[in-house]
Amino acid sequence: MHLVGESLVFFGETPSPLAFIPRPGSSVRLRSTYEPTAGTIAYIEGRDFRVDLGAGTITRLSDSRLPDFRTNVLHGRDDFDHIDFPGYGNLAFFAYADYETATDFNFPVPTERTKVLAATRARLTAGQAISVVAYGDSITWGGEASAPHLIFWQRWVDELAAKYPQAKIRATNAATGGDSTTQGLERLDEKVIPTKPDLVLVGFGMNDHNRDCVPLPRYQEQLCRIVNRIHKETGAETVLYSTFPPNPKWRHGSHQMAAYARATADVAMTTGSAFVDVHAAWQALAARKRPEDLLANNINHPNDFGHWIYYQALAGLDL
């Protein structure tokens, strides 16, 4: 597998793990931005970093141009409240690696339920117009993706458009930062129902799971109500996706995201929706990656590579 733009941060001269072991004899390229631009810094092996292919690690050298995460305002903070640290965030600390992996990675494949997206498949295959609405919180809105085309669901829609060039796909971003399923219910009449969608991507959970927010039973009940209203009032098909755990050192998380992911899967089954297990995909990669490597705000927003993880999980729908 050719991996493009895997994000890392560096803690002094401590080796930073790649998500995969590189192919023996291959090279690793490292740069300062996810997509190369006129201002991108191309880091040089031997000057800025060294690679251990066998261990799958990159080490920042002492006189490197690579940023040192030890200067990040949240470095070393446990049980932190981000409000107390103006200027928090990781965007200035990322480096992005391109390399060939020794083995392919099989992202979790959605449960096979052939009839769930039958109408969407039929529209795409017939080259008909189709309206896709993305509905959820700041992650679905695109929080901290460096460009709109890198938002995970937009990448997926663009892939569908390339695969079905005769289909007229219209995509609408109906997400709102900070929303839980409580606000999701309240905004349906404003943001979803009037658009007359054919397919709605539904992604909540990050804000629901926070301390003193939406308890798990109410999250499941409200998510079910959101989906049932979409089905009843628009006839659209729905895709539900789970989300990843926020930084475990963040004070406001309940850190029960696995339970919210299971609840999301249960709602998908109950309502006849497709389910994409982003949580499982994220956790599989997190076996070798640290939260700081993947979180743009160091709390609960994915960076561009994190959006890629979402996109890869969504692409498993294989429409």
- Report pLDDT digits (tens) over 299-314: 999 999 999 999 999 9
- Match 């994409």 to its residue by tokens: 276
Determine, yes or no, domain membership for 245. Answer: yes
Measure the CA–CA gap between 171 and 168, rounded to whole angstroms: 10
**Do 168 and 87 lie in a common domain?**
no
What average pLDDT does the structure give for the chain?
Answer: 96
Provide the edge-to-edge strand list for the sheet that holds 237-241.
Answer: 168-173, 129-136, 199-203, 237-241, 274-276
pLDDT in tens, 204-246: 999 999 988 999 999 999 999 999 999 999 999 999 999 999 9
**Do 139 and 288 lie in a common domain?**
yes
**Do 180 and 278 lie in a common domain?**
yes
**Do 128 and 81 lie in a common domain?**
no
pLDDT band at 104, cuts 50/70/90? confident
* End-of-domain residue from the set 43, 71, 100: 100
Asked if 297 and 89 touch (Cβ cutoff 8 Å), the reply is: yes
* End-of-domain residue from the set 40, 74, 100: 100
Q: How far apart are the first and last CA of the chain?
A: 22
What is the value of pTM for the model shown? 0.97
**Do 16 and 143 lie in a common domain?**
no
Residue 106 has pLDDT above 90, yes or no: no
Provide the edge-to-edge strand list for the sheet that holds 57-60.
Answer: 16-17, 57-60, 49-52
Determine, yes or no, domain membership for 112. Answer: no
Average pLDDT over residues 28-49: 97
Residue 85 has pLDDT above 70, yes or no: yes
Print the domain residue range for 56.
2-100
Residue 115 has pLDDT above 90, yes or no: no
* End-of-domain residue from the set 100, 134, 149: 100
Determine, yes or no, domain membership for 45. Answer: yes
pLDDT in tens, 186-202: 999 999 999 999 999 99
Q: How many domains does the chain have?
A: 2
Average pLDDT over residues 110-123: 83
Measure the CA–CA gap between 206 and 80, rounded to whole angstroms: 17
Name the packing angle between helices 257-271 and 278-285 (round to 10°): 150
**Do 128 and 90 lie in a common domain?**
no
Phi and psi, residue 202, nearest 5°: -115, 120
**Do 94 and 180 lie in a common domain?**
no
Residues near 266 by beta carbon (within 8 Å), at least 6 away in sequence: 220
Q: Report the CATH number that the domain containing residue 277 is assigned in CATH.
A: 3.40.50.1110
Residue 180 has pLDDT above 90, yes or no: yes
Measure the CA–CA gap between 219 and 225, rounded to whole angstroms: 10
Residues near 232 by beta carbon (within 8 Å), at least 6 away in sequence: none
**Do 167 and 244 lie in a common domain?**
yes
The pLDDT score that the predictor gives to residue 105 is 84
**Amino acid symbol at 314:** L
Distance of CA 53 to the CA centre of its chain: 27
Determine, yes or no, domain membership for 106. Answer: no
Determine, yes or no, domain membership for 197. Answer: yes
Tell me the two tokens of residue 45. Answer: 């092996």
pLDDT in tens, 260-316: 999 999 999 999 999 999 999 999 999 999 999 999 999 999 999 999 999 999 999
**Do 177 and 262 lie in a common domain?**
yes
Distance of CA 100 to the CA centre of its chain: 22
Residue 114 has pLDDT above 70, yes or no: no
Residue 109 has pLDDT above 80, yes or no: no
pLDDT band at 86, cuts 50/70/90? very high
pLDDT band at 112, cuts 50/70/90? low
Residues near 265 by beta carbon (within 8 Å), at least 6 away in sequence: 240, 242, 275, 277
